[in-house]
């Protein structure tokens, strides 16, 4: 029996080519994406990697995205390679222009490094969102369209703006704690299939009926 789309397909629905499972189109080893997470872009959803910029292997930073995330078109993950030296008089990157200016190549210790960028599970990111280096977006979070994520967003919170600010919690603390322990995204496919009506219900008390 089939319990949903194949997580190893590029297009979960062959009739909708604007939606692509990211895991199956990435080529960079420093991008890690979970099952069922998709990017939606009519201009080429399968070109998701083009929206992860300044990502250089020698810096060793990773973009890690969990399962069941929904990412709208226009996303940009800016990675640590975009950073310039800020401890000197000028931030100008003379070294990359060549022609003798290589002598001003900074040592890595002089460049700001924010670590890995991590997006949790079941995260919804709206259109034209920019995520700055090293940000962490928690499970179940929602990021409003046109936001610039400059600070971490807690699990099951709604955030938006430029710079991003926390707008509200999606649920009360008890339910957030329960969902973080439940981790429905790690269930086997048959259990998710059998409980779709509860997972998609507006009656939040029903989630505690699941055994």
Per-10-residue mean pLDDT of the chain, 211 residues long, equals 88 91 96 98 95 89 97 96 75 76 72 89 98 97 98 98 97 96 96 94 91 73
**117, exposed or middle or buried, with CB in 10 Å at 0-12, 13-18, 19+?**
buried
65, two tokens: 């995205």
Residues forming a β-bridge with 160: 165
∠ CA 86-114-54, nearest 5°, is 80
Q: Which domains are seen in the chain, by residue range?
A: 19-170 (2.160.10.10), 172-210 (no CATH)
> Residue 207: what pLDDT?
94
> Residue 114: what pLDDT?
87
- 93-106 confidence digits (pLDDT tens): 766 788 888 776 77
Residues forming a β-bridge with 20: 39
Does the annotation count 84 as an active-site position?
A: yes
> Residue 86: what pLDDT?
76
Q: Which one is catalytic: 51, 54, 55, 84?
A: 84
pTM of the model: 0.91
């Amino acid at each position: 029996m089939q319990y949903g789309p194949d997580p190893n397909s590029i297009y979960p629905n062959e009739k909708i080519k604007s939606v692509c499972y990211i895991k199956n189109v990435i080529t960079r080893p420093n991008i890690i994406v979970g099952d069922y997470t998709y990017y939606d872009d009519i201009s080429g959803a399968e070109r998701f990697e083009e929206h992860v910029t300044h990502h250089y292997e020698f810096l060793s930073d990773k973009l890690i995205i969990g399962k069941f995330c929904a990412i709208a078109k226009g996303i940009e993950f800016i990675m640590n390679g975009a950073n310039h030296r800020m401890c000197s008089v000028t931030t100008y990157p003379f070294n990359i222009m060549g022609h003798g200016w290589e002598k001003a190549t900074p040592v890595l210790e002089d460049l700001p490094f924010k670590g890995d960028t991590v997006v949790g599970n079941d995260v919804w990111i709206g259109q034209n969102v920019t995520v700055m280096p090293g940000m962490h977006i928690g499970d179940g979070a929602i990021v409003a369209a046109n936001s610039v994520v400059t600070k971490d967003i807690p699990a099951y919170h709604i955030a938006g703006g430029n710079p991003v600010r926390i707008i509200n919690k999606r649920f009360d603390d008890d339910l957030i704690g329960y969902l973080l322990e439940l981790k429905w995204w790690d269930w086997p496919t048959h259990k998710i299939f059998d409980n779709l009506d509860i997972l998609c219900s507006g009656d939040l008390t029903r989630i505690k009926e699941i055994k």
